[in-house]
C-alpha cells in the first residue's frame, strides 16, 4: 500500500468545470482529476455527467469518476507519478473519504450553493447542520477546511466563518 500523491481536495457543487481546469488545476500542478461522487460515477445520468466534465477538462488532465467507496478502496493503489486532485460536491463525501482512510489533510471549499434550509457564510458558500457536522468530523481527524474560491484569495477556516455568520 502506497501513500497517494493527493495535491488538492476541493468541494464544488458543480464538480469539474472550466474554473477547475484553468485556475485550480494549474495552481496545484495536478495531472489527474478524480471526481469522487456516487452520482457521476454510477448514477442514472453518469454517462451524460461524465461527458460534460471530460469536455471541461480540455484534455489537459486524466479524469476518473469513482464512487466514494471505490475511491476509498483504490486510492492507495495510485502511482506516485499521479498528482491527484480530488473533487467532491459535498463536505459529507469528503468526510466519508477521510473516515475511510483517504489521506486528506486539507479541503478547499469553493462552491456550495444556497438551497432551502442553508445559510450563507460567504459569497459562494452556504451550509446547513449536516455540512457543519461533516466539517467538524474532518477537523477532529486533522483536516483543515478553508473557504477559498480562487488561489489569489486568502483562505478562511470554514468553521470560523460559520461561527461568525450565525
Residue positions annotated with a catalytic role: 17
2: nearest Cα among 70, 61, 74: 74
Asked if the model's pLDDT at residue 125 lies above 90, the reply is: yes
Q: What is the pLDDT of residues 2-38, one digit of tens each?
A: 899 999 999 998 887 777 777 888 889 999 999 999 9
User: What pTM did the predictor assign?
Assistant: 0.94
Task: Report residue 90's pLDDT band, with 50, 70 and 90 as the boundaries.
Answer: very high
Question: Strands 119-122, 156-157: parallel, antiparallel or unpaired by DSSP?
Answer: unpaired
Does CATH number 3.30.365.10 belong to domain 6-164? Answer: no
Asked if the model's pLDDT at residue 154 lies above 70, the reply is: yes
Asked if the model's pLDDT at residue 1 lies above 70, the reply is: no
Amino acid at each position: 500500500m502506497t501513500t497517494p500523491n493527493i495535491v488538492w481536495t476541493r468541494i464544488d457543487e458543480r464538480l469539474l468545470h472550466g474554473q477547475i481546469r484553468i485556475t485550480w488545476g494549474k495552481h496545484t500542478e495536478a495531472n489527474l482529476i478524480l471526481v469522487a461522487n456516487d452520482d457521476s460515477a454510477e448514477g442514472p445520468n453518469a454517462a451524460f455527467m461524465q461527458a460534460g466534465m471530460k469536455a471541461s477538462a480540455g484534455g489537459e488532465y486524466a479524469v476518473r469518476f469513482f464512487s466514494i467507496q471505490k475511491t476509498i478502496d483504490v486510492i492507495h493503489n495510485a502511482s506516485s507519478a499521479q498528482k491527484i486532485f480530488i473533487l467532491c460536491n459535498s463536505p459529507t463525501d469528503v468526510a466519508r473519504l477521510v473516515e475511510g482512510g483517504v489521506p486528506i489533510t486539507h479541503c478547499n471549499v469553493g462552491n456550495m450553493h444556497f438551497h432551502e434550509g442553508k445559510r450563507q457564510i460567504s459569497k459562494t458558500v452556504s451550509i446547513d447542520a449536516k455540512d457543519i457536522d461533516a466539517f467538524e468530523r474532518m477537523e477532529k481527524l486533522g483536516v483543515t477546511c478553508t473557504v477559498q474560491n480562487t488561489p489569489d484569495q486568502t483562505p478562511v477556516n470554514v468553521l470560523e466563518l460559520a461561527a461568525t455568520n450565525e
